[in-house]
Each structure stands twice: as structure tokens, then as C-alpha cells.
Amino acid sequence: MHYLALDIGKRRTGMAFVSEETAVPVALDTVEHRTVQELVQSVALRSQEKGVHTVLCGLPLLPSGEEGEQCRYVRSVAVALQKCGLSVLFLDERYSTPQGSDFDGDAFAACQLLLTFLDQQKR
């Protein structure tokens, strides 16, 4: 099975891919988008290219564990992805995006989501 992970932002979304056979997450391009539709089109295309049927969406919970405005946005993207025929799973992504680094933090965060997911599957 193949998975695509998303670190969803309102203007930029990091993507990463993993195949269960290799279990090695690969950072993909960070997508620039202005609307949910633009993002969903990019994710649907990449999912088709990679043979992905399940998308992992990072859920940016507040430090208290509650859902805020950004979580509502992520959930709206998830609904649109489901309408495209993709299965969607959510993972807590608090503190997954590194600060002040020279590499693509959004794609790195998506890789971290995949590593967490794979670790949970082993249990």
C-alpha cells in the first residue's frame, strides 16, 4: 500500500510519499496554492501518479489538544479529498514543522507524519 502525507497550510502544503514495501518516506514538492480546489487538484494528481489511495493529513491541534481554526481548514480539505475518492486519516502534527532550517520544513513535516504513521502500524 502507498500513502501520501500532507502538512496542510493555507498557502503552502508539504507532501511526502511512502510505500509499505520500502517504509522509507520521501519528501515531495511543497505545493503552493490559493484555494482548497487548487490544493485538492494537486493532491489528486500526485496520488494518481503514485498509486495512492490513502492520504494522511496532519491535524495541527492547539497545545491544549483542542481543534482551532487551522484544524477546521484541514478538515475541509479532507472532505474535498474524500469527494475525489481518496481515503483520509488524521495524525496529530503538533510541533512537527522544524523552525529556522535551510530545507523544506513543510515536506519534512509530511515525512515525520509518515514515520509516525508507520510506527503506529507496527504496534
Q: Are 52 and 4 in contact (CB under 8 A)?
A: yes
Q: What pLDDT shows up at residue 108? A: 80
pLDDT tens by residue, 6-47: 999 999 999 999 998 888 899 998 999 999 999 999 999 999
pLDDT tens by residue, 42-74: 999 999 999 999 999 999 999 899 999 999 999
C-alpha cell at 2: 502507498
Q: What pLDDT shows up at residue 98? A: 54
Q: What pLDDT shows up at residue 114? A: 86
Question: What radius of gyration do the chain's Cα atoms show?
Answer: 13
Q: What pLDDT shows up at residue 102? A: 52
Q: Which residues pair with 8 in a beta bridge?
A: 13
Mean pLDDT (the chain, rounded): 89
Task: Give the separation between CA 111 and CA 6, rounded to whole angstroms.
Answer: 9
